Chains A and B, each alone.
Chain A
Amino acid sequence: MSLRKQTPSDFLKQIIGRPVVVKLNSGVDYRGVLACLDGYMNIALEQTEEYVNGQLKNKYGDAFIRGNNVMRNWGHCSPDPEPCCLEYSVLLSPQHIFLLLVAWKLEL
């Protein structure tokens, strides 16, 4: 998947339907299939699982995450064997696409 010279909205159209990890400012992770996303980074996930240190709760069906809570500032990449693409700071792993929502603003 080529990620060069691509607008954020094109990128988002590509990743809709893929498993993702959404990390919140509070440190909680939500793993699920990305159903949709809007300009405020509000996120709808399906088959969502919530991770705080260990697994806490299972949510089935749509989970809506308010955009302001999504982590936007990331001090360092977490260790991950897959290549890190710097244009959009995306870590790709076989099971999940890890969304590092770092320092890019969605302009739609």
Chain B
Amino acid sequence: MADDVDQQQTTNTVEEPLDLIRLSLDERIYVKMRNDRELRGRLHAYDQHLNMILGDVEETMTTIEIDEETYEEIYKSTKRNIPMLFVQGDGVVLVAPPLRVG
């Protein structure tokens, strides 16, 4: 089909960053968002704005509290699980495969 030929031609040229996200469809990904939030979930869909549909998501919200007496920074994280989630693209900072301990 003509579509397949076109796809083959586009993959021969330099791929756009969005093409590389396409490779992660139906895979688990890690998303770093604004406001110190992180998501880990399965990528079901995305578009050019980075709006995404994620399934089986774990959201981590990180806050830094400063102890008024010792002035030490206390990192706290809150997690919650969401079965199916629409992510607004303008909040997305980074998309990557799930982090491996390195």
Chain A positions within 8 Å of B, measured between CB atoms, are 16, 24, 26, 30, 35-38, 42-44, 48, 57-66, 68-69
Contacts and interface: CB of A to CB of B under 8 A. Distances in A.
Contacts, number: 62
Given A59-B99, A61-B96, A68 B17 contact: no
Interface in B60-102: 89-90, 92-97, 99-100, 102
Contacts of B34: 26
A69 B16 CA distance: 17
A69 B93 contact: yes
A38 B18 contact: yes
Given A35-B20, A36-B15, A38-B17, A66 B102 contact: no
B16 A66 contact: no
A41 B20 CA distance: 15
Contact of A59 (B18, B21, B23, B96): B96
Contact of A64 (B96, B99, B102): B96
B61 to A, nearest CB: 16
A42 B93 CA distance: 10
18 contacts: A26-B34, A30-B94, A36-B14, A36-B15, A36-B20, A38-B16, A57-B99, A57-B102, A58-B99, A59-B96, A59-B99, A60-B102, A61-B96, A61-B97, A62-B20, A64-B21, A64-B96, A66-B95
